Amino acid sequence: MLLDHDGAAQHQDDDPLDPDRKFGTVGAVALDANGNLAAATSTGGMTNKQAGRVGDSPLAGAGCYADNESVAVSCTGTGEVFIRTLAAYDIAAQMRYGGRSLQQASVNVIHDKVLELGGSGGLIAIDRAGNVALPFNSEGMYRGFARVGEPAEVAIYRES
Ligand code: ASP
């Protein structure tokens, strides 16, 4: 199965706004001025998935999670592994009960736990202090973030 951002799924001359390619993953996380954290995840699933397969995206705690006390997380990748690791919630748990920073927890989940089970993908997350983490272990991940009054930042591949 392929992810949206796997090299093999990319066709250089494809129009990124082609309406026939509108079934990719979209995730969003936000922190508002009142300290509310929110996360949303939408996906078309994975290429060649079995009919009726349910991935991690609609499962709170697996592909999506938000809690005002810790963090908002939205995941993309091999859903079966994000379900087994409860990836999004595990970040919140590491922060709340283990005292880890967002950066430590999200890197641990993506680069250790998900990778160890053969999972590919990444996540976007923002914590209650406004720290942002965008880790991924796949070849690339379409991503961006913005803060009020600052220019938005976007990227696909690893920063050099
Ligand atoms: N996580 C999704 C799934 O397994 C795929 C994706 O959108 O990244 O269904």
Confidence of residue 146 (pLDDT cuts 50, 70, 90): very high
Lowest mean pLDDT among 9-13, 76-80, 151-155: 9-13
**Beta carbon of 56 within 6 Å of any ligand 1 atom:** yes
Which residue(s) pair with 143 in the sheet? 155
**Which uninterrupted H or E stretch holds 87?**
helix 87-98
- Read off the pLDDT of each residue in 95-119 and give the average, rounded to a whole number: 98
Asked if 143 contacts 154 with a C-beta cutoff of 8 angstroms, the reply is yes
In angstroms, the CA 39 to CA 57 distance is 11
- Read off the pLDDT of each residue in 47-63 and give the average, rounded to a whole number: 95
What pLDDT is recorded for position 120? 96
**Beta carbon of 74 within 6 Å of any ligand 1 atom:** no
Whether residue 110 is contained in a domain is answered as yes
CB atoms within 10 A of CB 121: 27
Q: Highest mean pLDDT: which of 2-16, 23-37, 90-104?
A: 90-104
Name the residue range of residue 104's domain.
Answer: 7-12+25-45+55-143+152-157
Whether residue 17 is contained in a domain is answered as no
**Cα of 58 from ligand 1 centre, angstroms:** 10
Among 108, 105, 51, 56, residue whose Cα is nearest residue 78 = 56
Mutational pocket test of ligand 1: of 1, 46, 53, the residue with most ligand atoms within 8 Å of the beta carbon:
46
Indicate which CATH number applies to the domain containing 78: 3.60.20.30
The share of the chain scoring above pLDDT 70, in percent, equals: 85
Domain count, the chain: 1
What pLDDT is recorded for position 57? 97
